[in-house]
């Protein structure tokens, strides 16, 4: 878990170099920069993120990196911990890190999470001059299975930063965020032979059953399976599963091939300016989701561990047979905006086999803006797919 580090230690860390225990470790302080996004604020140089590693680890050991976030703004702030190393029960790494071995990029084997509006508990107070510290274990979400030279690169930003000295809210809604970039911090370390490699956390999960022997039904999804949950929750999930399939099917229908000219308004709203390859990419995601639901039994875990109250659902993109449902899912309507069925479309789009979308932005306002400002990202953003589908009557 993360802990607060006193200002005195932070100064010695940032000015005098690595802590004694980490002497010799690569240490690259990075300064925050103003983001090219219009919603970024100018806090240049005022929040800094650093990542520190040991010089070497033995295969099979936790690959523990230290993340420090320093507040040099001179004022207290609260920062949204989503998709940063501050959010790490059990040192689990979320999708804020890129890892390579001997120059080759490793696949991310961790979770991606659909989120609703944040709650106050999703924020961390960082006082003026304070450094928040968190320890993460790279091997929880990446396959550190061979010796070699590894590089871990931080690829994240603070999705929302609230100045506490103003008359500040405890949390802000999606779309009201003030983003601060943290730049890119990298560390390089050696992994040497000597132990049994540990596999990512997701490797220990039971994959859902694959039934390849049933005849292919081109117009309906395979029946889902469930882990845990009450009868009424299972029933609601089964209905959402069928409606998600309808959403995928109707989304394909709403994106004719070849594209009409002009492109459908719904496409422009959620995926931005028409461009042939992007249109084909968005369409292919819905085709893949439809086929995947026809071919594969999905297991829904209705009582997973590690659900925070602002979370709808999560998946491991490399495990396309399981969807984990959390608190916000049960509060959501069956269909329409931010619904149960739409959440399943969102999660399906994350599966690598369906196109492997990311979570660049959450919420309708931010996703519409993303479509306008950065359509290349919009066609790879899960919520844009969800909102496109949810805008269709089923
Ligand atoms: Zn997501």
Q: If DSSP codes are grouped into helix, strand and coil, which group holds residue 178?
A: coil
Contacts of 140 (CB under 8 A, 6+ apart): 90, 91, 92, 93, 110, 200, 201
* Mean pLDDT calculated for residue range 218-244: 95
* CA separation for the pair 221, 51 (Å, rounded): 44
Cα-to-centroid distance, 215 and ligand 1 (Å): 31
* CA separation for the pair 393, 30 (Å, rounded): 47
Q: Strand pairing of 322-325 and 299-301?
A: parallel
Percent of the chain with pLDDT strictly greater than 70:
85
* pLDDT score of 198: 81
pLDDT exceeds 60 at position 240: yes
Cα-to-centroid distance, 112 and ligand 1 (Å): 5
Cα-to-centroid distance, 354 and ligand 1 (Å): 13
pLDDT exceeds 90 at position 322: yes
- Using an 8 Å Cβ cutoff, are 241 and 220 in contact? no
* pLDDT score of 22: 35
pLDDT, tens digit (0-9, with 9 covering 90-100), for 107-119: 898 999 989 999 9
Distances (CA, A) of 370 to 76, 217, 240: 30, 36, 27
* CA-wise closest residue to 293 among 232, 253, 227, 345: 345
**Which of the pair, 199 or 71, is modelled with greater confidence?**
71
**Which of the pair, 155 or 18, is modelled with greater confidence?**
155
Q: Strand pairing of 56-58 and 186-192?
A: parallel
* pLDDT score of 226: 97
pLDDT, tens digit (0-9, with 9 covering 90-100), for 375-392: 999 999 999 999 999 999
* CA separation for the pair 294, 296 (Å, rounded): 6
* Mean pLDDT calculated for residue range 218-223: 86
* CA separation for the pair 260, 267 (Å, rounded): 11
pLDDT exceeds 50 at position 281: yes
* CA-wise closest residue to 49 among 86, 74, 78, 22: 86
Cα-to-centroid distance, 345 and ligand 1 (Å): 10
Is residue 347 part of the annotated active site? The answer reads yes
The token duo for 17 is: 């170099």
Cα-to-centroid distance, 346 and ligand 1 (Å): 6
pLDDT, tens digit (0-9, with 9 covering 90-100), for 333-352: 999 999 999 999 999 999 99
Selection from 1-15, 26-40, 82-96 with the highest mean pLDDT: 82-96
Cα-to-centroid distance, 114 and ligand 1 (Å): 4
- Using an 8 Å Cβ cutoff, are 58 and 194 in contact? yes
Rounded to 10 deg, the angle between the 364-373 and 382-390 helix axes is 110
* Mean pLDDT calculated for residue range 318-339: 97
- Give the pLDDT band (50/70/90) at residue 214: very low
**Which of the pair, 25 or 144, is modelled with greater confidence?**
144
* pLDDT score of 218: 59
Question: Which residues on adjacent β-strands are paired with residue 50?
Answer: 68
Cα-to-centroid distance, 358 and ligand 1 (Å): 6
pLDDT, tens digit (0-9, with 9 covering 90-100), for 18-75: 333 333 333 333 333 333 343 444 565 689 899 999 999 999 899 999 999 999 999 9
Buried b (16+ CB within 10 A) or exposed e, 199-224: ebbbeeeeebeeeeeeeeeeeebbeb
pLDDT exceeds 80 at position 276: yes
Across the chain, mean pLDDT equals 86
Asked if residue 233 has a cis previous peptide bond (ω within 30° of 0), the answer is no
Cα-to-centroid distance, 197 and ligand 1 (Å): 29
* pLDDT score of 43: 63
The token duo for 18 is: 């690595």
* Mean pLDDT calculated for residue range 281-287: 96
- Using an 8 Å Cβ cutoff, are 320 and 292 in contact? yes
Question: Which residues on adjacent β-strands are paired with residue 134?
Answer: 67
* CA separation for the pair 383, 347 (Å, rounded): 9
* pLDDT score of 219: 82
Q: Which residue is catalytic, options 81, 143, 347, 386?
A: 347
Cα-to-centroid distance, 77 and ligand 1 (Å): 26
* pLDDT score of 70: 94
Contacts of 148 (CB under 8 A, 6+ apart): 101, 102, 190, 191
- In eight-state DSSP terms, residue 209 is P
Cα-to-centroid distance, 350 and ligand 1 (Å): 7
Distances (CA, A) of 259 to 196, 280, 284, 309: 52, 9, 13, 40
């Amino acid at each position: 878990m993360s802990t607060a580090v006193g200002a005195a230690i932070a100064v010695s860390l940032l000015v005098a170099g690595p802590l004694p225990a980490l002497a010799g470790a690569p240490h690259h302080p990075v300064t925050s920069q103003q983001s090219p996004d219009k919603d970024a604020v100018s806090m240049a140089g005022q929040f800094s993120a650093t990542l520190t590693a040991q010089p070497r680890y033995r295969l099979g050991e936790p690959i523990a990196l230290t993340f420090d976030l320093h507040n040099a703004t001179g004022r207290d702030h609260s920062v949204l911990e989503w998709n940063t190393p501050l959010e790490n029960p059990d040192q689990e790494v979320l999708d804020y890190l890129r890892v390579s071995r001997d120059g080759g990029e490793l696949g991310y084997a961790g979770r991606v999470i659909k989120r609703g509006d944040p709650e106050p508990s999703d924020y961390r107070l960082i006082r003026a001059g304070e450094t928040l510290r968190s320890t993460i274990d790279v091997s929880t979400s990446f396959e550190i299975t061979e010796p070699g030279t590894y590089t871990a690169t931080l690829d994240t930003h603070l999705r929302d930063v609230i100045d506490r000295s103003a008359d500040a809210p405890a949390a802000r809604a999606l779309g009201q965020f003030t983003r601060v970039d943290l730049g890119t911090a990298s560390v390089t370390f050696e992994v040497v032979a000597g132990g049994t490699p540990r596999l990512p956390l997701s490797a220990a999960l039971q994959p859902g059953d694959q039934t390849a022997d049933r005849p292919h039904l081109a117009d309906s999804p395979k029946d889902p399976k469930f882990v845990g949950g009450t009868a009424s929750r299972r029933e609601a999930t089964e209905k959402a599963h069928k409606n998600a399939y309808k959403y995928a099917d109707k989304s394909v229908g709403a994106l004719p091939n070849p594209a009409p000219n002009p492109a459908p308004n719904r496409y422009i709203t959620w995926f931005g300016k028409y461009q042939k390859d992007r249109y084909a990419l968005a369409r292919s995601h819905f085709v893949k989701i439809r086929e995947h639901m026809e071919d594969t039994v999905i297991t829904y875990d209705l009582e997973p561990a590690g659900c925070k109250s602002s979370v709808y659902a999560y998946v491991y993109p490399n495990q396309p047979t399981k969807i984990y449902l959390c608190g916000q899912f049960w509060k959501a309507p069956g269909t329409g905006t931010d619904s149960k069925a739409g959440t399943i479309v969102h999660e399906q789009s994350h599966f690598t086999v369906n196109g492997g979308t990311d979570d660049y932005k959450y919420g309708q306002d931010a996703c519409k803006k993303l479509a306008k400002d950065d359509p290349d990202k919009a066609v790879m953003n899960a919520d844009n797919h969800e909102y496109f589908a949810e805008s269709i009557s089923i």
